[in-house]
Structure 1
Amino acid sequence: MKIRHRLSLQFTVISGIILTIVFVLIYFLSVQYVRNSFYKLLQVRALITAQVYLEEDELTKKKFREIEKSYRQSIPDESSNIYDAGNNPVFIEKIKHDWPPSMLDIVRNKKIHRFTYGDEYGLGMFYPDNQGDFVVIITARNIAGAQQLQYLLWILVIMFCVALLIIFLMGQWYASRALQPVKSINRQVKMIRSSNLHMRVQQGSNKDEVDELASNFNELLQHMEQAFEMQRSFVSNASHELRTPLTTIIGEIEVTLHKERTKADYIQTLRTVLDESEKLKIITDGLLQLTRVDVILTEANTETIRLDELLWEIQEHWRHKTPPLTIDVQLLELPEDAGELTIRGNRSLLLLALQNIIRNAFKFSYNHPVSTTLTAGKEGLVLSVSDQGIGIAPAELEKIFLPLYRADNAHAFSGYGIGLSMAQKIFEIHRVHVTVSSTLGQGTTFNIFFPRSQKI
């Protein structure tokens, strides 16, 4: 079921429940009102009956005729009974009811007593007179009231059905109008394909949830577009890196097979093929490692790591190389609590990521000293790795983390563009943010931010 129909039905059901409660309340209040009005009428009739038959000698002739005229305007199926203090009937009109003495005593105690008798309403009234104390009991059917209530019931039922129909149609119109922006987004989304990911969903100006949905979807499209661009770049770079050694291998073999060669020529060809095959193996192993880096960190495969100790370990590693390489380690704004220098993560993966960045720093600076600075702040730890190498062009800064991507000025150096991609993936799974700043011919700085609220 579409949202428009579901909203209309839900709105109709809710309105129907409210209308039902209101109409039922109206009906029962009307029933109570009609019943009270009829009892008041019976009370008036009881008083008139008593005056007509008990006080004829005490009223003026004119007053008596007015009361008698009112008495003649009887109620349908009205029956009047008057009893004296001894429970003896002194006046019976139409029908004599065998009212038990207990009923008469209740009337004497309560003065006015309302009751029902079958489908009739009854009222008993205590009437003191100079001739004695009497009990007047009137019974009658409220035919007019029943007709009014039945008429009211039909009106309420018809109004309920008509109101529900109107509410449903208005709900359809309102839901359709309210969901119009969503329909517009759906139409625009249907037009977006992998070939036109640059398109964006048009946002409104209401700043509501629909606009938020459109904004989030546009952000998703932007990430998808970047992912597709990265994929195209990866395929292009991978094709280039794999094609070069394959072309060399095929060319060497074709030239060697063109004519009979000496033993030395065959050995040289095999050596060339072996070298290029090793390059292919290095590239494929690097790509395989990239896929294995996508792990999920848990308490089982992580530990508490002190970054300053990790830097000393890396410094010692490069110091024992041949030739030895220098890493300058600086610790700034150190906290009093050494525990604030710790992070939670996988030690081997973080060591691999940092070593890849420092290895590149040495390689592209012709093994000049590399400086590292660890700064402790309120929001976390910042590790800066700086070199004095060839630098990176501004247009290529965003691409250096792509697999198999190499900057234009890096082709003179050995490598395949895998180390930084692997480091970036390791930092991502540790929720570590990396920024890069560089100047051509002067050097590059990697700023690695470890948040203090880091959770695994």
Structure 2
Amino acid sequence: MKTRTKLTLLFTIVTAVLVSLYGIAVYYFSKEAREISFYSELKAEATAKANLFFEGALTEKEMHRLYKSNIQTLTEVQVAIYDSDYHLIYHDDYKVDYVKEDSAMLASIFKRKQVSFFINNLQATGTVYTYQGKKYAVTAAGYDQYGYHSTLNLLSISIFIFIIILVLVYFAGLFLSKKALNPAVEMVKGVKNITAGKLQLRLEYQTEKDEFYELAKNFNLMLERLENSFSSQKNFVSNISHELNTPLATMTAELELALQKTHGTEEYRNIILNTLNDVKNLSKLSASLMNLAKASYDPSEINFEDIRIDEIVLDSYAKILKENPQYSIQINLDDSIEEQKLIYAGNHYLLLVAFTNLIDNACKYSPDYSCIVSIRIISGFLSVEFINHGSFISEKDYQNIFKPFYRTEEIPHKKGHGIGLYLTKKIIGLHHARLSVLSKDGITSFQILWP
């Protein structure tokens, strides 16, 4: 079932319930008002006939004649009068006695002074009338033909109007829901035109800031992110292909050269060493790509635990020196730092990759292959700083240093793939820390601030 139909039916049902409650309330209170009004008429009629009987304006026969004359044209109220000994002293028509008073009923009237009750479809009332110091019970009964007829007409009209209102509400609901959901229909048409090759398309939306405006706006922002992601993915794949092709092409050339003719032992040794270096280079690239994939996981899928930052720095120190014995690394840890301030929630493996990249980068671009790692507290933040001397980052490199596969043109002989700093930036971001770089007066510093 379409949303338009659901909204229309829901709107119609709610309206039906509300109108039904209103109709029931009107009918109920009209019915109650009719009963109260007719009881008042019965009491007035009882008092009037009692006055006529006792005051002697009309004889009993004339009152009987008046009663019989009136019932020919309208529903007359039947009145009866009893004395305090429960003896009947007057009745409009005792042959057709509506009330059929008994001693218990008369006793109740004398005791309560005023009673009202139903006898089948007839309404009846009993009241105490006082004349010359004596008390009399006067009963009056009648059928409210006009009142019942009016109430029945009200019920019929209410049901008819209720049906008309539901029909009108249903069609009005269809019209209004169509108009209200028209932006959604237009958005669906727009979405159908957007494909993987047309991510530059955007949904149009009105300037009125309603829910559809927010939906279209956020959908366009999502498309923009997807477009950037697809573009980055294409560039990423292109760069990977280029990076993989270089060592593979070199290895192919070296091996083809080895097969062309017979070489001496030293020449074969050099070919094998060159090929081995290319394999190691390819292995490093593969490891970097694997680490990049891990750093791109959803943060909720990465295992975080309490770790000590200084211990990871020491592990990175040992790893770098094992692979590059020529590097000189100095670690300065502020002795005043409390142990608790060195403990953070993080992923040991990813942080080890990040710190190793920063130390290797600092040593690689330092003339004497040296790096200083400084751990201290700055304005309440834990700072881990990687410093080298002699290198300088140009303005162009400064703007692109954290972009994937970007390599400086200032020092072309340095080997690398342009993944390390980009990967490090992602890892530090996953740990809700901040990585910044500063290059000035021959000193380059990469600083991580932990909250």
C-alpha deviation, 1:444, in angstroms = 5.2
Secondary structure, aligned partner of 1:431: coil
**Residue range with higher mean Cα deviation, 141-150 or 210-219:** 210-219
Secondary structure, in 3 states, of the residue corresponding to 1:91? Answer: strand
- State whether residues 331 and 373 of structure 1, in contact with CA within 8 Å, keep that contact through their aligned partners in structure 2: yes
The within-5 A match list for 1:25-40 is: 25-40=25-40
**1:277 matched to 2:279:** yes
Alpha-carbon separation, structure 2, partners of 1:323 and 1:286: 22
TM superposition shift of 1:240:
0.6
What is aligned with 2:22? 22
1:68-147 equivalences in 2 (<5 Å): 75-76=74-75, 78-94=77-93, 95-96=96-97, 97-130=99-132, 132-147=134-149
Asked whether the 8 Å contact 1:126–1:133 carries over to 2, the reply is yes
Counterpart AA for 2:414: F
SS at match of 1:413: coil
CA pair 362-271 structure 1, distance change in 2 beyond 3 A: closer
**Matched-pair contact (CA < 8 Å) for 1:375–1:382:** yes
> Which residue, out of 295, 299, 305, partners 1:302?
305
One-letter identity of the residue aligned with 1:28: Y
Q: CA deviation at 1:353?
A: 0.9
How far is 1:152 from its partner? 0.9
Higher alpha-carbon deviation: 87-96 or 391-400: 391-400
Alignment-mate amino acid for residue 356 of structure 1: N
Displacement, 1:30? Answer: 0.5
The amino acid that maps onto 1:233 is N
Change over 3 Å in CA distance of 1:69–1:98 after alignment to 2: closer
Measured in 1, the distance between the counterparts of 2:276 and 2:314 equals: 38
What is the SS of the residue equivalent to 2:328?
coil
Corresponding residue number in structure 2 for 1:9: 9
Moved more, 387-396 or 84-93: 387-396
Deviation, structure 1 residue 26: 0.9
Deviates more, 1:392-401 or 1:85-94: 392-401
- Offset at 1:106? 1.4
- The equivalent residue for 1:325 is 328
Structure 2 CA distance for partners of 1:285 and 1:318, relative to 1, 3 Å: closer
Give the match's secondary structure for 1:179.
helix
Deviation sequence 1:91-122 (CA, Å, 0-9, x none): 22231243111111111222221110011111
Of the structure 1 ranges 203-212 and 105-114, higher mean CA displacement relative to structure 2 is found in 203-212
1:282: Cα distance to partner? Answer: 2.9
> Kindly tell me: are residues 323 and 270 of structure 1, through their superposed partners in 2, closer, same or farther at Cα, counting changes over 3 Å?
closer
Is the contact made by 2:306 and 2:345 (CA closer than 8 Å) also made in structure 1? Answer: yes
Find the counterpart in structure 1 of residue 228 from structure 2.
226
Q: Which shifted more, 392-401 or 273-282? A: 392-401
Moved more, 144-153 or 282-291: 282-291
CA distance 1:69–1:272, shift in 2 (3 Å): same
Local SS of the residue matching 1:18: helix
Q: Which sits farther off after the overlay, 180-189 or 319-328? A: 319-328
Q: Quick check: 1:249 aligned with 2:251?
A: yes
- Measure, in 1, the Cα distance between the counterparts of 2:213 and 2:91: 82
Q: 3-state SS of the aligned residue for 1:400? A: coil
RMSD (Å) for aligned C-alpha atoms? 3.8
Residue 201 of structure 1 and its aligned partner are, at CA, apart by 3.5
In the alignment, structure 2 segments of 5+ residues that lack a partner are none
Q: State the Cα distance separating 1:28 from its structure 2 match.
A: 0.4
1:376 & 1:384 partners in 2: Cα distance?
11
CA contact (8 A) 2:383 2:450 kept: yes
Aligned to 2:344: 343
Q: How far apart are 1:262 and its partner, in Å? A: 4.1
CA contact (8 A) 1:437 1:445 kept: yes
TM-score by length of structure 1 reads: 0.80
Match of 1:454 in 2: none
Identity %: 24
| Deviation readout 1:129-183 (Å, 9 max, x if unpaired) | 2394322211111222111111111222222222223333333333333333333
Report the residue type matching 1:303 in the other structure. Answer: D
Task: Report which stretch shifted further, 90-99 or 100-109.
Answer: 90-99
Structure 2 counterpart of 1:412 = 413
CA distance in 1, matches of 2:102, 2:131: 22
